Chain A
Amino acid sequence: MSTPSATREASSKPSKAPRAPGIRQTMSDVHTWTGLLVGWLLFAMFLTGTVSFFRDELSQWMRPEVHASTGVDPADAANRVGDTLQRISPNSPVWYIGLPDARSNTAQVTWRGAKGFENGVFDPGTGERLEARATRGADFFYAFHFQFHYLPVIWGRILAGICAMFMLIAIVTGVIVHKKIFVDFFTFRWGKGQRSWLDAHNVLSVFGLPFYAMITYTGLVTLMALYVPWGMQAQYPTQADRARFNGEFSAFMPMAKPAGEAAPLLPLATFVRAAEQHWQDGRAGRVQVINAGDTSARVLVARRDAQQISNNPSYQIFNGVTGAVLRTVDGVRPAAETRGVLYGLHIGRFADDTLRWLYFLCSLGGTAMVGTGLVMWTVKRRSKLPDPTRPHIGFRLVERLNITSIAGLTIAMTGMLWLNRLLPLGMAERAEWEINGFFIIWGVTLLHAIVRPAKRAWLEQLWAGVALLALLPVFNLLATSRGLIDSLRNGDWVFAGVDLMLLALAALLADIARRTARHRPRVKPAKRTAAAVSKATATATSTMSTGEPRTEA
């Protein structure tokens, strides 16, 4: 990494102390450069990750034709889905059934068919497969936030890990830089250009610091076996050993060779009820069946994630034919439990509605922290440029990438939701094209940011985002049977919630855009041409509102 030399160049800004750079100055440089290098990707990781806290809900919203039965007992649901699977894919070596719960009204099923793995959404009430549009739903945002797209999964995850490590370093150095952390929390210098920017960045950072540190560190922990496998490799030299080690952390049975003798599988409800009996107050969340219809059939029933913070598995494995319990896993050793809790904290599946909103808002604040940090880089440097009207190439690169990654990503994400509604249902590879469309739109915003003057590009993209966000609920109202009015009347909070959220985000973005447009810099006349300075104050003040529950509508 060329960071040390970059650091020297970067410290050209006038420091109050004329002597050699002190630790705070050096840390400030480290903070700036670690933040800038990965800031754009981090912003995208943060924003898509934020959305993922409502992954189940958004996925439902993206399949509006699905009206599944609600309030079905998971055991009955497992039974009915099992019957259907036996009918449609009798010789499948493995089924995975995600049971419905309070946040998901369908059973999500994956099984191995004749042509490889297939998946579908099943109605827990009837057990029948539901016809839904081909979409990956919010799973795309979820997967994107730690492995991106179009990249081999492993490389994407390594890239995400590097970003997260930089983020962790940026957080720690940020705290070191920020000596008067609590005093500054109450300081907000409105309308002061770069000052306001810095204050916004500070307040956002301090406000959510525990959350950001937690989410970054735990994010690294979720994929640590990929990032630092050395200890594992030293202890477990063979692949089989490592598979056994990893098996300790997931409720999963590897596929096994069938015995070749037919034997009927007991109804799945038997196993679900037995496991729930064993847990006393626990509910089943997931069922895995291998070799159904064979004497070697095994059934694994895993407890629901929502019932404990820790993500460590709690499950029972049964003989599928006799119903005998073969294995019970209820807890793990301390270090493994620590890992499970850290992992669980990251994905937040344990959270109830209130806590989930808090996660969402904190995470939105984190997104804004990264965004304000990125824009601050340009604001700070613009006033130091020899000629602010003709900045050098590096500056322009950062400026344009900022526009694309902040305003452009909002457009692309909303655009994908539009594609989810607009693409013809019978289209070939429809789910893939929703995603391709997302990247095409994002690419267009990059081109747009390159060809337009910076301030115009900001404004146009922000307003485009506002329009897309605000019109989507209107489109739902006019063109689908599940518009906002109906869903409010029927108490359909998933659909009403997503639509209201889109409107709230549109309002938020409009506020940012309005302030960006209206603001006239009043600092120094020399800076009058600097669009980003005005942008600074505007967004600084308006990003503040992300920390308030206004988005909750």
Chain B
Amino acid sequence: MFGGYGLASLAAVAATALPGPPSEGVLIGMMLSFVVYTCAVIWVFAVRSAWRAWAGLLIAALPLALVIWTLVTPVKP
């Protein structure tokens, strides 16, 4: 539940790194986050063990976190 929200939030932030005007990235991220969340919840319940569920979420989260660390910078006023 919280893992899913975390992943969805990561996706929302990562999407702001998309090329184009920042406001567009922000919106795409927000809109997609609900889809990511749904998928995450389904994944967690679909696999056999809690370990696998966490592993799956972490694997999905890693590239997103990487993108955020390297690419996301606030808009310069």
Tell me the A residues contacting B by CB distance below 8 Å: 1, 3-4, 7, 20, 23, 26-27, 29-30, 165, 168-169, 172-173, 176, 217, 220-221, 224-225, 227-228, 230-232, 234-238, 241, 245, 248, 333-336, 338-339, 342
User: Quick one: which of A168, A221, A241 contacts B77, CB cutoff 8 A?
Assistant: A241
Given contacts A224-B34, A231-B15, 14 further A-B contacts (CB under 8 A): A3-B1, A173-B45, A228-B30, A235-B25, A235-B75, A236-B74, A241-B75, A241-B77, A245-B23, A333-B20, A335-B23, A335-B24, A339-B27, A342-B31
With a cutoff of 8 Å between Cβ atoms, the chain B residues found around residue A29 in the complex are 45
**Given known contacts A30-B41, A30-B45, A333-B24, A230 and B9 CB-to-CB distance under 8 angstroms:** yes
User: Quick one: which of B29, B50, B77 contacts A231, CB cutoff 8 A?
Assistant: B29
User: Quick one: which of A3, A23, A231 contacts B30, CB cutoff 8 A?
Assistant: A231
With a cutoff of 8 Å between Cβ atoms, the chain B residues found around residue A224 in the complex are 30-31, 33-34
Helix, strand, loop or mixed for chain B's interface?
A: helix
22 CB contacts below 8 A, A to B, read A1-B1, A165-B34, A169-B42, A217-B34, A220-B34, A221-B30, A221-B31, A224-B31, A228-B9, A228-B30, A230-B13, A231-B30, A232-B26, A234-B13, A234-B74, A235-B16, A235-B75, A236-B74, A238-B77, A333-B24, A335-B27, A339-B31
Number of contact residues on B: which range applies?
A: 20 to 34
* CB <8 Å contact, B38 and A232: no
The residue on A at minimum CB distance from B8 is A228
**Given known contacts A169-B38, A172-B42, A235 and B22 CB-to-CB distance under 8 angstroms:** yes
Q: How many angstroms between the C-alpha atoms of A1 and B2 in the bound complex? A: 8
* CB <8 Å contact, A334 and B29: no
Q: How many angstroms between the C-alpha atoms of A23 and B44 in the bound complex? A: 11
CB of B10 to closest CB in A, whole Å: 8
Mask, B45-69, CB within 8 Å of A = 1, is 1101010000000000000000010
Q: How many angstroms between the C-alpha atoms of A173 and B41 in the bound complex? A: 10
User: Quick one: which of B23, B33, B46 contacts A228, CB cutoff 8 A?
Assistant: B33
Tell me the B residues contacting A by CB distance below 8 Å: 1, 8-9, 12-13, 15-16, 20-31, 33-34, 37-38, 41-42, 45-46, 48, 50, 68, 72, 74-75, 77
Helix, strand, loop or mixed for chain A's interface?
A: helix
With a cutoff of 8 Å between Cβ atoms, the chain A residues found around residue B77 in the complex are 238, 241
With a cutoff of 8 Å between Cβ atoms, the chain B residues found around residue A30 in the complex are 41-42, 45
With a cutoff of 8 Å between Cβ atoms, the chain B residues found around residue A334 in the complex are 24
With a cutoff of 8 Å between Cβ atoms, the chain A residues found around residue B33 in the complex are 224, 227-228
Q: How many angstroms between the C-alpha atoms of A165 and B26 in the bound complex? A: 20
User: Quick one: which of A231, A248, A339, A342 contacts B16, CB cutoff 8 A?
Assistant: A231
Q: How many angstroms between the C-alpha atoms of A339 and B1 in the bound complex? A: 25
Q: Which 8 A-B pairs have the closest CB atoms?
A: A231-B29, A1-B1, A335-B24, A335-B27, A231-B12, A224-B30, A228-B33, A228-B12
CB of B26 to closest CB in A, whole Å: 5
With a cutoff of 8 Å between Cβ atoms, the chain A residues found around residue B15 in the complex are 231
With a cutoff of 8 Å between Cβ atoms, the chain A residues found around residue B21 in the complex are 333
* CB <8 Å contact, A336 and B27: yes
The residue on A at minimum CB distance from B36 is A228
Q: How many angstroms between the C-alpha atoms of A326 and B3 in the bound complex? A: 47
* CB <8 Å contact, B46 and A27: yes
